[in-house]
Amino acid sequence: MLLTILKNCEDNIRSRIGIYELAKDAYDELKKTYKSKIAIEFYALLDSLTNIAFNDRKGTIEQHITHYKAT
């Protein structure tokens, strides 16, 4: 299991968890590393969605909806 975790990590993370001998310890480190990153990314996405305002001088409603869906 540890090899699977190491194989599927980015290089910088692999070097961080490569010191562990047990998969559980590596997993715990990954969990700690990504926990705050996931929350930050979620709130950034939520903020970007709630701040998309329609401006009829800059485009059509169809363009606005397409941009919103893409975001």
Q: DSSP states of 40-66 as a string? A: HHHHHHHHHHHT----TTT--HHHHHH
What are the domain boundaries of the chain? 2-70
- pTM over 0.75, yes/no: no
pLDDT at 62 over 90: yes
* Residues whose CB falls within 8 Å of the CB of residue 59, separated by 6 or more in sequence, listed in order: 67
Residue range 9-49, pLDDT digits in tens? 888 888 888 899 999 999 898 888 777 777 777 777 777 77
Report yes or no: 54 and 64 within 8 Å, Cβ to Cβ: yes
Report yes or no: 1 and 23 within 8 Å, Cβ to Cβ: yes
